[in-house]
A and B are shown apart, each in its own frame.
Chain A
């Protein structure tokens, strides 16, 4: 059991932080600390330029194999990169879906031609991806997707029709990966396909969803006979569920430590305000602030255990609790921030509805316990997979 990084890892850390302080400067200074969750709609053009700058410096896709332009970085190095990136105030990555989801999926399940076609664009920060999983009728129960994919032999292409929802940055993306039904006679996780679909085509319509924050980073995406090539299916028709689930497994949590650095800056801000406005004298708030501090440190050591775990990729117990842990912690931090602010919490920065950072935090963190598997679904997963309790009964679909 060893908490400290090796000297070689620390040298790597120095390399990352030097590069970031040299490059995340000048024109890019304005986007420091921006574009994270709840703030993804801002500075998109600047963040696209930043993604290319990052790519030219060799800092995109560092966990990928060298053959595909990565650095074959170890888990430790990826953790360090994410920590330093967050510490430097690195903006929300417009390329993160491609780098962390599409790329690893193609590396594991994609054909040679698919890798050749799509990996270089992601690595170069030039082609952006978004996610086409959830549908209005398929939220927690993802396997209920109804979007259809029909193979048109005459044009050698797939025609996709249906609706996806909660797609971040859809209007900025070049491609979307879509889970769609290839065989309507099959139900649930059978008869699905995993498709790589260009966004810029007549069959794709995007409609932003305005959230309780007044901003819109999520979208609805409508497919009306949208087209992708016959070869733009990952795996066989009918094997889409396996690919889709594999994709979710690739997020091994290397970015979680970066996420925690972001959380730390939020907690620091709450503590700063508490010290300034005297809330720090309130015994009940003192308890909650201490609890928030403990909770954030717990996330860190949960992550380190998770990342130090077995290399077989199996989901460890600490990995299973991770989403439930951080989402609940973050949501509670939002409420704590409001309580520390007191009456000031209600005052907007300006009309018509410009929220302060902590107000956005308070409102947007209500989404944290819902997206990516609600807290209730997480508890089911823990009970069923970690504790071996009976699975929920399924209704007729």
Chain B
């Protein structure tokens, strides 16, 4: 039992922190968030060629680093801390989806391309309002030599900039997983204007899109979708912890400068206690993050049960979702008047926290998942 980072993991954390501090300042974020893609291409290119974070979870056989979820959350925590405008979370999510069908030739090709920096996005739901299988609105119909896809997927992370898409579709009472490219006939891909501008989302509309049999990666993918979404919740949890930490850091920095009644407002207990509550939430959700990442790695190895993964993801999503929103919201309050201006970054974290807590299910919905496990089964509750 050693619930702390190895030397290699610490190095990864330090290098991510250092790199992003140098290359992903507030100016970079603000410039990218009003651009069409929402991505800073130069930064993304630098990450893909120098840091290889896009390849962390790609197995070595396909040109990846072959590392695990713990390493992924280490990087994503730092990404969330600076709101780096790069589509790494979207890419990692697709890697997770592709690993479930890694025996497939096309999946291997896509994994290789992802490791090289191509962007593949997962389009899985219309979220009206369900994020899981019940929210899948694209329908696949089998033909003699392939499939026809119809319907739409919303909230596709970095979807409008994707080189290729993995589309989840209803298929014969189960779910299928298909590869679609933006230039195919009948495919419309557009940017979704969102309240949080730091996490761009796409809308995918499919109208009688013909896909070849070889583009079908799986025909009974329903149970895999659950696992991929739970693993994705862990990735989001990492960004939420980073977002919460940054909200705390920026708030402490601000109150330590701001003087009223002849002293810094950081010296008032009312302010100190708010900051202490923020730190408590940051550190608590960080502990759950590392736990969930360990469970995620075991799930990828097949040594953790689906139930363990679901529980870990739900605990983290509830805790980190609340932590990020609480810290960003309290952060605005501690900033006083300037907190509600466009100029200060705390508002960016506030919007980001709101968008992330709703993505893949709100904290209260995650708690309901846990309540079902604890209270509704026949055999007592999960250990």
Q: How far is the CA of A376 from the CA of B1 in the complex (A)?
A: 33
Given A294-B318, A378-B276, do A308 and B2 touch, yes or no (CB 8 Å)? yes
Q: Is the CB of B287 within 8 A of A280?
A: no
The residue on A at minimum CB distance from B284 is A298
Q: How far is the CA of A5 from the CA of B371 in the complex (A)?
A: 29
Given A2-B3, A297-B315, A379-B273, do A386 and B284 touch, yes or no (CB 8 Å)? no
Q: Is the CB of A5 within 8 A of B284?
A: no
The residue on A at minimum CB distance from B292 is A301
Q: Is A274 an interface residue when CB atoms closer than 8 A count as contact?
A: yes
Q: Is A346 an interface residue when CB atoms closer than 8 A count as contact?
A: no
The residue on B at minimum CB distance from A379 is B276
Q: Is the CB of B275 within 8 A of A305?
A: no
Tell me how many residue pairs across A and B have CB atoms closer than 8 Å: 147
Interface size class of A (residues with CB under 8 A): 35 or more
The minimal Cβ–Cβ distance linking A301 to chain B, given in whole angstroms, is 4
Q: Is B256 an interface residue when CB atoms closer than 8 A count as contact?
A: yes
Q: How far is the CA of A5 from the CA of B1 in the complex (A)?
A: 4
Interface string of B307-330 (1 = CB under 8 A from A): 000000001001100000000000
Q: Is the CB of B318 within 8 A of A290?
A: yes
Q: Is the CB of B1 within 8 A of A9?
A: yes
Q: Is the CB of A389 within 8 A of B266?
A: yes
Q: How far is the CA of A4 from the CA of B298 in the complex (A)?
A: 11
Q: How far is the CA of A9 from the CA of B1 in the complex (A)?
A: 9
The minimal Cβ–Cβ distance linking B33 to chain A, given in whole angstroms, is 29
Given A3-B291, A301-B288, do A380 and B370 touch, yes or no (CB 8 Å)? no
Classify the secondary structure of B's interface with A: helix
Q: Is A208 an interface residue when CB atoms closer than 8 A count as contact?
A: no
Given A3-B1, A301-B3, A383-B276, do A287 and B287 touch, yes or no (CB 8 Å)? no
Interface string of A355-397 (1 = CB under 8 A from B): 0000000000000000000001011101110111110110000
Interface string of A328-365 (1 = CB under 8 A from B): 00000000000000000000000000000000000000
In chain B between 252 and 281, which residues have their CB closer than 8 angstroms to a CB of chain A?
252, 255-256, 263-264, 266-267, 269, 271-273, 275-277, 279-280
Q: How far is the CA of A388 from the CA of B267 in the complex (A)?
A: 10
Q: How far is the CA of A3 from the CA of B291 in the complex (A)?
A: 8
Q: Is the CB of A2 within 8 A of B252?
A: no
Interface string of B358-376 (1 = CB under 8 A from A): 0000001001101100111
The minimal Cβ–Cβ distance linking A313 to chain B, given in whole angstroms, is 15
Q: Is A324 an interface residue when CB atoms closer than 8 A count as contact?
A: yes
Chain B residues positioned under 8 Å from A76 (CB to CB): 1
The minimal Cβ–Cβ distance linking B283 to chain A, given in whole angstroms, is 5
Q: How far is the CA of A275 from the CA of B375 in the complex (A)?
A: 6
Chain A residues positioned under 8 Å from B381 (CB to CB): 268, 271, 293
Q: Is the CB of B368 within 8 A of A324?
A: no
The residue on B at minimum CB distance from A275 is B375
Q: Is B16 an interface residue when CB atoms closer than 8 A count as contact?
A: no
Q: Is the CB of B375 within 8 A of A271?
A: yes
Q: Is the CB of B1 within 8 A of A305?
A: no
Given A308-B4, A382-B276, do A301 and B290 touch, yes or no (CB 8 Å)? yes
Q: Is the CB of A286 within 8 A of B368?
A: yes
Q: Is the CB of A1 within 8 A of B70?
A: yes
Q: Is the CB of A290 within 8 A of B367?
A: yes
Q: Is the CB of A1 within 8 A of B9?
A: yes
Q: Is A44 an interface residue when CB atoms closer than 8 A count as contact?
A: no
Q: How far is the CA of A294 from the CA of B8 in the complex (A)?
A: 30
Q: Is A46 an interface residue when CB atoms closer than 8 A count as contact?
A: no
A-to-B contact residues, CB < 8 Å: 1-6, 9, 76, 79, 268, 271, 274-275, 280, 286-287, 289-291, 293-294, 297-298, 301-302, 304-305, 307-309, 317-318, 321, 324-325, 376, 378-380, 382-384, 386-390, 392-393
Having A280-B376, A389-B256, one finds 11 other A-B pairs with CB under 8 Å, namely A3-B1, A274-B375, A290-B371, A304-B3, A376-B273, A378-B276, A387-B279, A388-B252, A389-B252, A389-B271, A392-B269
